Amino acid sequence: MIFAGTKKSGMKRTAAALTAAVLAAGTVTGCASSTDYSVTAGGKKINAGVYINFILNEMTQQMYTMYYTGEITQFSECLEKQVEGKDFMTYVKDKALDDTKEFAAIQAKFDELGLTLSESDVQVIESSVSSAWGSQKDYYEYQGVSRESLQMCNELSYKKDTLFEYYYSEDGVEGITNDDLQKYVNENYIRYKSVAIPKSSETDEEAKNKENEELKALWEKYATEAEGLDFAGMDQLINEYETYKAEKQAEKEAAEAAAQEAAEGTEAEELSLADLDGSEQTIDVEVPENNAANEETTESGDVSAAVTTAAEESSVPDETSPAAETTTTAAETEKPAETTTAVDSSEAPAETTAPKDDAAAETTSEETKEKESKEKETEKTEKETTAAAADEETSSDADDSTAEPAD
């Protein structure tokens, strides 16, 4: 067996210590004073390396099993564990001894019958031993396992198979035919086919109970039909149940899809504006340009009113102003008032309340504001000019009035 990394080193150290402890215990049946041999079978001695190799193999298997199942985290912890009701070291010794006894019996019978391994088996064994010895020679020699012992252990399974074929192959000493094998299987084993019908997985209690009743009736039906069926008949029954399952699954998926579609339809209906009348639609759909147009109309109206008021006030004769000049002022202020009135027409808001293009409506609004601003500036300039002219004329009249008494 090949190991790697720190696990290899840890396992080897533990195995070395345990192997030494097992050998020092001196509990191996048939042990001689020499450490070269451990068992004698049929007058033939078995190398101690064979027994040691079985110890290493069993120890390694048990330590890795415990480690990878989480039973231990360090290989040394295996000493505190039990295997099959025995403490670890006792179990390893007993198992290695049983393997050694089996090895001795197989080796003895193999030699007694004069059997040999096939050429292909010999090649596989030689390749395996060469690989293991080449990579772990020091380890095996440190443990007391020679290359010869390692090869003998590797030959064991092949010799066991050869003996089995010698006795029980169809042409063997106690040859077993296919009919014999079939008879044995029929008498000692049962081959069967079945239909597994699980209970309902529904979460709703009412639906769950209803489905379980249906499944129970189906089970009773199949149980009755299965009586006396051969495998071919049972296959038909199984196919029938598979068809039933597929149909039920399709029905379930269709119901779920319909429920989902209904839920989506309800949601869409709640969000729809189809039931709203025209006035409600106008309220829901905000058009900022409409508000701007209304505001512009109001502002235009205010400007018109302001200009008209200014015109009216300037039309009242001043005590120091000639009537003709006052009339001229009023006439001059009528122009911006007329322009404002055009902006303030009732058609302007109607055109902007439903613009075909938001950008166009916004541009119109800005142009209107700009036009009104210019008109206000013009109006202001004209007022200031008119007022200045009126002041000059008033001052001139005052000078003339003051000069008359002097004449």
Query: Does 391 lie in the same domain as 262?
Result: no
Give the residue from 240, 270, 300 where a domain finishes: 270
Instruction: Identify the residue whose tokens are 């007694």.
Output: 112
Query: Does 245 lie in the same domain as 136?
Result: no
Position 183 in a domain: no
Position 404 in a domain: no
Query: Does 232 lie in the same domain as 155?
Result: no
Locate 190 and state its tokens.
């049962």
On the question of pLDDT at 56 being above 80, the answer is yes
Query: Does 367 lie in the same domain as 319?
Result: yes
Q: How confident is the model at residue 181 (pLDDT cuts 50, 70, 90)?
A: confident
Q: What is the torsional sign of CA 18, 23, 24, 26?
A: positive
Q: By mean pLDDT, which of 123-127, 171-175, 262-266, 305-309 is the weakest?
A: 305-309
Position 199 in a domain: no
Pairing of strands 44-47, 37-41: antiparallel
Query: Does 262 lie in the same domain as 319?
Result: no
Query: Does 245 lie in the same domain as 160?
Result: no
Position 190 in a domain: no
pLDDT at 365: 66
Report which listed range, 32-46, 200-214, 352-366, is most confident: 200-214
Locate 78 and state its tokens.
């295996």
Query: Does 102 lie in the same domain as 219?
Result: no
On the question of pLDDT at 375 being above 90, the answer is no
Give the residue from 127, 152, 174 where a domain finishes: 174
On the question of pLDDT at 166 being above 90, the answer is yes
On the question of pLDDT at 273 being above 80, the answer is no
Query: Does 248 lie in the same domain as 135?
Result: no
Query: Does 235 lie in the same domain as 374?
Result: no
Position 354 in a domain: yes
**Angstrom distance (rounded) from CA 362 to CA 359:** 5
Mean pLDDT taken over the chain = 74
pLDDT at 295: 47
Q: What is the mean pLDDT of residues 252-281?
A: 71
On the question of pLDDT at 242 being above 80, the answer is yes
More confident residue, 335 or 203: 203
Query: Does 325 lie in the same domain as 227?
Result: no
3-state SS string for 161-194: HHHHHHHHCCCCCCCCCHHHHHHHHHHHCCCCCC
Q: How confident is the model at residue 131 (pLDDT cuts 50, 70, 90)?
A: very high
What does pTM read for this prediction? 0.45
Position 16 in a domain: yes
On the question of pLDDT at 319 being above 50, the answer is no
On the question of pLDDT at 323 being above 50, the answer is no
Query: How many folded domains does the chain comprise?
Result: 3
Q: What is the mean pLDDT of residues 71-88?
A: 90
Position 405 in a domain: no
More confident residue, 233 or 34: 233
More confident residue, 404 or 8: 8
pLDDT at 309: 43
Query: Does 247 lie in the same domain as 168?
Result: no
What are 285-310's pLDDT values in tens digits? 455 555 544 444 444 444 444 444 44
On the question of pLDDT at 395 being above 60, the answer is no
What is the secondary structure of 90-145 as a DSSP string?
A: HHHHHHHHHHHHHHHHHHHHHHHTT----HHHHHHHHHHHHHHHHHHHHHHHHHT-
Give the residue from 216, 237, 270 where a domain finishes: 270
Q: By mean pLDDT, which of 117-121, 147-151, 360-364 is the weakest?
A: 360-364
Helix H or strand E segment including 273: none
On the question of pLDDT at 178 being above 50, the answer is yes
Query: Does 153 lie in the same domain as 223?
Result: no
Q: How confident is the model at residue 15 (pLDDT cuts 50, 70, 90)?
A: low
Q: How confident is the model at residue 355 (pLDDT cuts 50, 70, 90)?
A: very low
- What percentage of residues in the chain have a pLDDT greater than 90? 39
On the question of pLDDT at 103 being above 70, the answer is yes
- What percentage of residues in the chain have a pLDDT greater than 70? 60
pLDDT at 269: 65
Position 275 in a domain: no
Q: Provide the residue range defining the domain that includes 266.
A: 205-270
Helix H or strand E segment including 40: strand 37-41
Instruction: Identify the residue whose tokens are 């010999």.
Output: 122
pLDDT at 28: 41
